[in-house]
Amino acid sequence: MKKKSAYNVAVVGATGAVGTEMLRILEERKFPVDRVLPLASARSAGEDVSFNGQDITVKLLEKDSFAGIDIVLFSAGADTSKEFAPLAVDAGAIVVDNSSAWRMDSHVPLVVPEVNAHALEWHNGIIANPNCSTIQMVVALQPLHKAVCIKRVVVTTFQSVSGTGKDAMEELADQSRKLMSLQESKATVYPHHIAFNCLPHIDDFLPSGYTKEEMKMVNETQKIMEDAMIQVTATTVRVPVFVSHAESINIETKRRLTANEARAILSEAPGVQVYDDPSHQIYPLQIDVAGTDAVYVGRVREDESIANGLNLWVVADNLRKGAALNAVQIAEELIR
């Protein structure tokens, strides 16, 4: 990317749960922004969003929205990305796409900077941001994989409603209030009540019985870690938490690693914080992790049922490291 002192940055989906966080993170990290262009649908075009203390009017996303724009961060769903990302590239911009539209395209790098920043070298204008659950898992697993080679991963997720967006956050709040006051409440965003409940169902079901979210964790992990030999099986569960995803991860490795050795490796790993002292009730919690940037790892222990195995509890803010922060980190790599 051509070096400049500041860049024109468009955010597609700027009024959403992820887009709002993108603007906040560009601001917090002092990304060199000349002009920021917030884009959304007709539902919120004309509204204001705040950036660096200024109110900026949201514009309607249109075919010719990208003239003069250097970088576009997309977070408005896969259909919008499929239609508009190629138009942004034609207009001369580089796209960092947060949807599932381009992730498994062999011409599109799928990047978590701590793991595979080198993949940015071969982009063709579009770079894909992985799924939130995959991002936090690979940040924690890559350093262990480098040390002892991971053969197999069994993961169960505990995913917050903010992963679905602003409507789902309102639904959890509304159902909770109504159920607590014995009022009738309806499920609209999810097929069942999410308040006081867990749903073993994220994204659509496939004929195999797995969900698309589960298969993203399988396929995206192999692509980012550049190892098709890593076997992954996932169960993804929606839990009544507003922000941050937690994951229970079991790994089987080629060589043995003690829990202490694993903690030592993880405490040196980029983007990871080890938070693991059960004797003092210390382990990562979704409520505490919301609003922070690291991938937190706790409950590290040896799997006593096999020769070489470990169990981990991994928590990250899905709107930040799982989406907006990872996208901005990719943009930072691109302008370096």
In the residue annotation, 245 being an active-site residue is answered as: yes
Distance CA 32, CA 4 (A): 9
In the set 39, 112, 132, 135, which binds ligand 12T (CB under 6 A)? Answer: 132
Q: What are phi and psi of 78, to 5 degrees?
A: -70, -35
Q: Which does 21 bind (CB under 5 to 8 A by kind): ligand 12T, ligand NAP, none?
A: none
Residues with Cβ within 8 Å of residue 324, at least 6 apart in sequence: 18, 19, 21, 22, 24, 25, 73, 75, 98
Phi, psi of 70 (to 5 degrees): -90, -45
CB of 203 to ligand 12T, least distance (A): 4
- The token duo for 209 is 């019985």
Q: Which residues within the stretch 61-100 sit at the binding site for ligand 12T (CB under 6 A)?
A: 99-100
Under rule CB under 6 A, residue 129 binds ligand NAP:
yes
Name which of 8 and 131 has its Cβ closer to ligand 12T: 131
- Yes or no: say if 302 and 246 are a contact pair by the CB < 8 Å rule: no
Q: Whole-angstrom Cα distance, residue 229 to residue 246?
A: 25
Q: How far is the CB of 82 from ligand 12T (least distance, A)?
A: 13
Based on the shown chain and the rule CB under 6 A, indicate whether residue 244 belongs to the binding site for ligand 12T: no
Q: Is 131 in the site for ligand NAP (CB under 6 A)?
A: yes
Residue 40 partner contact from ligand 12T, ligand NAP, none using kind-dependent CB cut-offs of 5 to 8 Å: ligand NAP
Query: Is there binding between residue 164 and ligand 12T (CB under 6 A)?
Result: yes
Bridge partners, 73 (sequence order): 11, 96
Token pair, residue 108, equals 């599109």
CB-count burial class (<10 Å; 0-12, 13-18, 19+) for 313: buried
Shortest distance (Å) from residue 309 CB to ligand NAP: 27
Task: Answer yes or no: 192 catalytic.
Answer: no
Closest approach, Cβ 315 to ligand 12T, in A, equals 15
Looking up tokens 């994951």 gives 247
DSSP string, 70-91: SEEEE-S-HHHHHHHHHHHHHT
Among residue numbers 15 through 74, which ones bind ligand NAP (CB under 6 A)?
15-19, 40-41, 43-44, 61
Closer by beta carbon to ligand NAP, 238 or else 283 = 238
Which of 59, 77, 203, 248 touches ligand NAP (CB under 6 A)? 77
203 belongs to the binding site for ligand 12T (CB under 6 A): yes
Looking at residue 129, the DSSP 8-state letter turns out to be P
- What DSSP string describes 56-67? EE-EE--TTTTT
Q: Which does 13 bind (CB under 5 to 8 A by kind): ligand 12T, ligand NAP, none?
A: ligand NAP
- Cβ-contact 296, 315 below 8 angstroms: yes
Tokens at 63, concatenated: 């075919």
Q: In this chain, which residue has its C-beta nearest to ligand 12T?
A: 163
Among residues 123, 145, 193, 245, which one is catalytic?
Answer: 245
Judged by DSSP in three states, 209 sits in coil
**Catalytic residue from among 107, 118, 132, 145:** 132
The answer to whether 236 touches 159, Cβ cutoff 8 Å, is yes
Among 20, 142, 157, 159, binds ligand 12T (CB under 6 A): 159
List residues near ligand NAP by CB under 6 A: 13-19, 40-41, 43-44, 61, 75-78, 80, 98-100, 129, 131-132, 163, 165-167, 322-323
* Enzyme catalytic residues: 132, 245
List residues near ligand 12T by CB under 6 A: 99-100, 131-132, 159, 163-164, 202-203, 213, 216
